[in-house]
Amino acid sequence: MGELLADHTTLRLGGPADRFLTHTDPAAWPDLTHTAVGGDAAPFVLGGGSNTLANDTGYPGTVIRMATRGVTVRPLGSDLVEVVVQAGEPLGSLVAFTVAEGLSGIEYLGGIPGTTGAAPVQNTGAYGQQISDTLTRLTVYDWNLGRARELRPADCDFGYRTSRFKTQPGRLTILNVGLRLARHTCASPIRYQHLADALAVRLGARPPLAEAAQAVLADRHNRGLSLPTCGPDARQAGSVFLNPPITHAQATAIRAAGGPVHSSPNGTLRASAGWLLEQTGFDPGIRVAPGVYCSQGRALTLTARDDATAASFTTALEVLADAVLTMHRIRLRSEPVQPNRMCLWRVGPGSGDG
């Protein structure tokens, strides 16, 4: 039997991959791409597996786990540097490294599991910061063209928890990324009220860099946003739904009911998926489907327990989304990626550039 995806995802769900390759040496990438191509499905690229719901039947093709490590720092003049990071570098280690080096720009992304190469895929973000804020360029392998190319952030269609890597699944593999960071003893201005409260400062304040990074880790721990190494919530993929876009009328109704409404710089209003769920009566700790529970800390995180399967996890997602749709007339979109739904195109030339 092939390598089980359950052994490579934080939900610890998922059957075998037809073929499983681990990418550790950037110089060996061209050889690896030749080995990977073949069969009916596009290769599925895996980072830390913290945002992946792998199917019980596994993956009918090659899975490539990105495990390249390495960070280099290049001065850009003045107090700016460009940090070039290999895709397999854990995001948490990168944040810790940059804070220790006195580099500001990603300090609020500490404590998020997974790899740096996966972060641009859903434009991973937290506490008012997202990876696209500091990206300078990305080296990607284009499976359609069969070669590596460089992308600028403007090429990537970044938005709230989305990018072209998400909307064109499987086409582009991120090999390394460049980030522009500033040498500063202070953190970036705080844009997240909850964190400002935790640090007893006002929005827009710039607390000391290390203190801000530490406060994020402590706050994540207190609010059940960290990945425990053991216990009932150890098998999870973080929040299971994105904050949905809503109309002005829905925003008014939610505010009237005491719920939060977030507004993006582009004017899009979003409800809090967690708040919507709580209104439907799904409290922390509740069982939603066989082996699948809302986590002890929050309803928006689903955890897998002993008899959970990817199928029961999917059922749980449907149960929660249906409850919100029935009560609020708002459709939730799930956040974790399901590899078997990604085979939308075939490897090979002639499928167009862009």
Ligand X SMILES: Cc1cc2nc3c(=O)[nH]c(=O)nc-3n(C[C@H](O)[C@H](O)[C@H](O)COP(=O)(O)OP(=O)(O)OC[C@H]3O[C@@H](n4cnc5c(N)ncnc54)[C@H](O)[C@@H]3O)c2cc1C
Catalogue the active-site residues: 161, 239, 335
Q: How far is the CB of 319 from ligand X (least distance, A)?
A: 20
Query: 181: closest CA among 100, 89, 98?
Result: 98
Binding of residue 126 to ligand X (CB under 6 A): yes
Give the separation between CA 336 and CA 317, rounded to whole angstroms: 10
Letter for the amino acid at 235?
R
Q: Rule CB under 6 A: say whether 236 interacts with ligand X.
A: yes
Alpha-carbon separation of residue 346 from 18, 62, 114 (angstroms): 17, 13, 27
Position among 5, 54, 337, 347 found at the interface with ligand X (CB under 6 A): 337
For the beta carbon of residue 262, count every other beta carbon within 10 angstroms. 13
341 CB neighbour count, 10 Å cutoff? 10
Q: Report the residue from 104, 139, 173, 312 that binds ligand X according to the rule CB under 6 A.
A: 173
**Distance separating alpha carbons of residues 182 and 83, to the nearest angstrom:** 10
Least Å from the CB of residue 79 to ligand X? 28
> Are 259 and 330 a contacting pair, CB within 8 Å?
no
Q: Determine, following the binding rule CB under 6 A, whether residue 237 of this chain makes contact with ligand X.
A: yes
Burial of 77 by CB count in 10 Å (0-12 exposed, 13-18 middle, 19+ buried)?
Answer: exposed
Pattern 22-51, ligand X, x by CB under 6 A: ----------------------xxxxxxxx
Q: What stretches of 184-290 adopt beta strand conformation (E)?
A: 236-239, 245-246, 261-263, 269-271, 287-289
Grouping H, G, I as helix, E, B as strand and the rest as coil, residue 95 is helix
**Binding test (CB under 6 A) with ligand X, winner from 36, 42, 63, 87:** 87
Window contacting ligand X (CB under 6 A); options: 75-83, 186-194, 219-227, 308-316: 219-227
Among residues 62, 98, 104, 115, which is the contact residue for ligand X, using CB under 6 A? 115
Name the CA radius of gyration of the chain, rounded.
20
119 interacts with ligand X by CB under 6 A: yes
> Does residue number 10 form part of the binding site for ligand X (CB under 6 A)?
yes
Distance in Å, CB of 200 to ligand X, minimum: 22
Is position 54 an interface residue for ligand X (rule: CB under 6 A)? no
**315: three-class secondary structure by DSSP:** helix
Closest CB to ligand X among residues 310, 337:
337
**Minimum CB distance to ligand X, residue 257 (Å):** 25
Least gap, CB of 227 to ligand X (angstroms) = 4
158 lies in the site for ligand X, by CB under 6 A:
no
Q: Name which of 183 and 305 has its Cβ closer to ligand X.
A: 305
Which one of residues 121, 156, 179, 320 is an interface residue with ligand X (CB under 6 A)? 121
Stretches 25-33, 197-205, 233-241, 253-261: which one binds ligand X (CB under 6 A)? 233-241
Name the strands in the sheet holding 269-271, side by side, starting at the edge strand that comes first in the sequence: 245-246, 269-271, 261-263
| DSSP codes, 116-173 | TTTTTTTT-EETTEEGGGTEEEEEEEETTTTEEEEE-GGGS--BTTB-HHHHSTTTEE
Q: Is 207 in the site for ligand X (CB under 6 A)?
A: no
14 is a contact residue toward ligand X (CB under 6 A): no
299 binds ligand X (CB under 6 A): no
297 contacts ligand X (rule: CB under 6 A): no
Residue 132 tokens read as 């696209």
Binding site for ligand X (CB under 6 A): 10, 44-52, 66, 87, 112-115, 117-119, 121-122, 124-126, 165, 173-174, 225-227, 236-238, 337
